Structure 1
Amino acid sequence: MRAVEISEFGGPEVLRVVDRPVPQAGPGEVLVKVLAAGVNRPDVLQRAGVYPPPAGASDLPGLELAGEIVSGDVQGSAFKIGDLVCALVTGGGYAEYCVVPVQQCLSIPSGFSLIEAAGLPETFFTVWSNVFDRGGLAQGETLLVHGGASGIGTSAIQLAVAMGNTVYATAGSDDRVQAINRLGGIGINYKTQVYEDVIKAKTGGRGVDVILDMVAGDYINRDLACLADDGRIVIIALLGGAKATINCGEILRRRLTITGSTLRPRPVAFKAALARALREQVWPLLEAGKIRPLIHATFPLEQADRAHAMMEAGEQVGKIILLP
């Protein structure tokens, strides 16, 4: 099969198309013929050498895909050979075939293309796990999303709005702010506005209940100023750095929570539980047309380097998809 491998750590140019053996599915796994694969920030970090795959995972990048189950162990699952699915994987999505734990497969939502479906798993698994499970966003509460125009950001905005929450989101240009507004969020241009001042003004000084933070670094202390009493910050990436100086007095006095998680190394059983939650809570919203992934661009597998360059430049609104 053709696959994109990281020839050495570095810029987008280190990605190269190679021939690899088709992987073999084991117990509880299926082999999927990949028809579309999502590009995500962890792929870029892995290519740069700062986010290695978990032990036992494929060394190939690619954390989500859509395609056809062509062989493997479907016993006890809702799927059969020949079914079209989308799935979360720990690696290997940038290829013509990929092995997937069958419990991490989800059906293609009715009316969705394979390209759209390939942009669902990594973002919605992440959003559900961190905003609703770990962050505990409840109906009627308010959410602030950093990186609001990213794949995860646009998914978080749409899902929280569909669940009845007010959502604020930061982005680095007026065009991206307008895209956030079209999704039902309230966009804030962090380059021209002080986002904590905007949040305080728009919430009457109360602040928001949950913050989904992909930046960390010096944003964390600023986030604390944005939180309502009993508020929660959930960190899912470190684009602004891993270290922060925080006001612990604020945490004590107002009962604030700072937490975080990474999804990729979690066991199959954990991801299977998330898949069940998505099937029950999110897939009906997708099929009802209340949520739709934003596909910014598609590239053939051979142009994975261009896809990574686009992501690093921060040009996209929504998802970038590779087509094997």
Structure 2
Amino acid sequence: MRTFGISDRSLHLIDAPEPTPATGEVLVDVHTIGVNRADVAEVAGAYPPPPFLTPLRTADGAEFCAPGVEIAGTRRDTGEEVVALVAGNGYAEVVAVEESALLPLPQQPTTPADGIADGDRPADGNPEATGTASDRFAFAASVLEAAATVVSNLHLETQVRAGERVLIHGATGSVGLTAVQFAKARGAHVTAIAGSDTNAALLRRIGADVALNRHDGDVLEQIAAGDGPRSFDVILDVLGGGDALEKNVSALSEYGRLVIIAVLAGATGTLPVMQVMLKKAHIIGTTLRFRRGEAKAQVMEAVRSQMWPLIQSGQIRVPIQAEVPFEDAAAAHQILRAGGHLGKVVLRVR
């Protein structure tokens, strides 16, 4: 099978034997792969695979791990069309998957949701942006990881409720767009942060009550000068460290919950402990990739029960930034590194 190895912080297409499924695993013939920032970070050497991930082997027996956590394809044993979250090795034509990490392919909505049009593109007008998925496999690979991230953090971890004030950083990626729409479906007041006026306008169209361009100045100063909330019950953060940690804590309300899902601004920062104590705040850090077994199954069940109805009805919709041939995975990574993309990048295997 074709897969990708990593060397010198670059992807290299190689041929390797198919994986042998362990007990409780099945083989999936992959049609499409969702491209995520975790994949880019792994290639850069900043996000190693979990220690429990079974490595692949080259024809001469050398072990390696491929990136990739989100796939859609066909179960080889039953022929069922499925989507799966894996701990790694997803950039391959065949992937061994825990049965607990599988869900049936979601139905692609036949009518578009309000707010996101088929022609929506990022602010730079990238002509590769296609807007909609070309088929059901591309659609499935564009929604699962974002749905799982959002439901695990805004439902399982923070239990966002109607009337709560939610701040979402990085709101025009697939996770951010999904989070805005999910929080609004829960009845929350949403403030969303974008990287351009064009994308801020799109966030308002899909339901954000307040949408700000981070390039217009310090986000907290913009919040303080605006008409929206000054503090937040829940903050979904992709920045992590640097001065973002202290600023996010300062923006929390009493009993507020800050959930950190990425470290784009740095892996370390200063925690204002007294503010955390006085606000009775909760600081939560999560990652999907290091969950397995019952923990992974809990997230997948929440996706099925909480997210699939909203996604299949079109209430939550994420545009496709680009569908890229499998062998051109490096080009897909470059789209994410360049920033400014809107929605999801998908690799087409077959």
Q: Which amino acid aligns with 2:193?
A: T
Change (3 A) 1:276 1:191: same
> Does structure 1 residue 166 correspond to structure 2 residue 166?
no
Who is 1:53 aligned against?
Answer: 49
Inter-partner Cα distance in structure 2 for 1:157 and 1:20: 40
Shift of the alpha carbon at 1:247? 2.5
TM-score by length of 2: 0.85
Q: Deviations over 1:110-167 (max 9, x none)?
A: 2362101002222111111122222232222121111111121111112111222222
Who is 2:95 aligned against?
Answer: 98
Within the candidate set 170, 176, 180, 1:153 is matched to 176
Who is 1:83 aligned against?
Answer: 80
Inter-partner Cα distance in structure 1 for 2:30 and 2:229: 49
Inter-partner Cα distance in structure 2 for 1:278 and 1:219: 29
Inter-partner Cα distance in structure 2 for 1:125 and 1:111: 17
Q: Deviations over 1:191-214 (max 9, x none)?
A: 113321333455665511101111
Q: Which amino acid aligns with 1:233?
A: L
Who is 2:2 aligned against?
Answer: 2
| Secondary structure, counterpart of 1:282 in structure 2 | helix
Who is 1:199 aligned against?
Answer: 223
Inter-partner Cα distance in structure 1 for 2:269 and 2:295: 29
Change (3 A) 1:203 1:273: farther
Who is 2:310 aligned against?
Answer: 285
Is the Cα contact below 8 Å between 1:199 and 1:226 reproduced in 2? no
What is the root-mean-square deviation in Å for CA atoms of aligned residues? 1.6
Shift of the alpha carbon at 1:315? 3.0
Within the candidate set 250, 253, 277, 1:228 is matched to 253
Q: Which amino acid aligns with 2:31?
A: L
Inter-partner Cα distance in structure 2 for 1:302 and 1:255: 50
Is the Cα contact below 8 Å between 1:179 and 1:317 reproduced in 2? no
Shift of the alpha carbon at 1:82? 0.8
Who is 1:188 aligned against?
Answer: 212
Deviates more, 1:305-314 or 1:206-215: 206-215
Within the candidate set 157, 171, 188, 1:134 is matched to 157
Who is 1:19 aligned against?
Answer: 15
Is the Cα contact below 8 Å between 2:151 and 2:306 reproduced in 1? no
| Secondary structure, counterpart of 1:23 in structure 2 | coil
Is the Cα contact below 8 Å between 1:233 and 1:257 reproduced in 2? yes
Change (3 A) 1:310 1:204: closer
Is the Cα contact below 8 Å between 2:161 and 2:187 reproduced in 1? no
| Secondary structure, counterpart of 1:65 in structure 2 | strand
Q: Deviations over 1:18-65 (max 9, x none)?
A: 111111222211111110000111111110111111123241111001
Who is 1:270 aligned against?
Answer: 295
> Does structure 1 residue 107 correspond to structure 2 residue 131?
no
> Does structure 1 residue 123 correspond to structure 2 residue 146?
yes
| Secondary structure, counterpart of 1:191 in structure 2 | helix
Shift of the alpha carbon at 1:216? 1.5
Change (3 A) 1:17 1:306: same
Structure 2 unaligned residues grouped into runs of 5+: 56-64, 110-135
Is the Cα contact below 8 Å between 1:16 and 1:302 reproduced in 2? no
Deviates more, 1:303-312 or 1:250-259: 250-259
Who is 2:235 aligned against?
Answer: 211
Q: Which amino acid aligns with 2:206?
A: L
Shift of the alpha carbon at 1:249? 2.3
Is the Cα contact below 8 Å between 2:160 and 2:186 reproduced in 1? no
| Secondary structure, counterpart of 1:91 in structure 2 | coil
Is the Cα contact below 8 Å between 1:154 and 1:294 reproduced in 2? no
How many residues end up aligned between the 2 structures?
A: 311
Inter-partner Cα distance in structure 2 for 1:152 and 1:110: 19
Who is 1:242 aligned against?
Answer: 267
Q: Which amino acid aligns with 2:345?
A: I
| Secondary structure, counterpart of 1:170 in structure 2 | strand
Is the Cα contact below 8 Å between 2:27 and 2:76 reproduced in 1? yes
Change (3 A) 1:225 1:203: farther
Structure 1 unaligned residues grouped into runs of 5+: 72-80
Q: Which amino acid aligns with 1:107?
A: P
| Secondary structure, counterpart of 1:143 in structure 2 | strand
Q: Deviations over 1:223-276 (max 9, x none)?
A: 122222111111111111122123222222221221211221122210101111
| Secondary structure, counterpart of 1:124 in structure 2 | helix
> Does structure 1 residue 66 correspond to structure 2 residue 72?
yes
Inter-partner Cα distance in structure 2 for 1:132 and 1:302: 36
Deviates more, 1:129-138 or 1:62-71: 129-138
Is the Cα contact below 8 Å between 2:261 and 2:286 reproduced in 1? yes
Inter-partner Cα distance in structure 2 for 1:283 and 1:306: 30
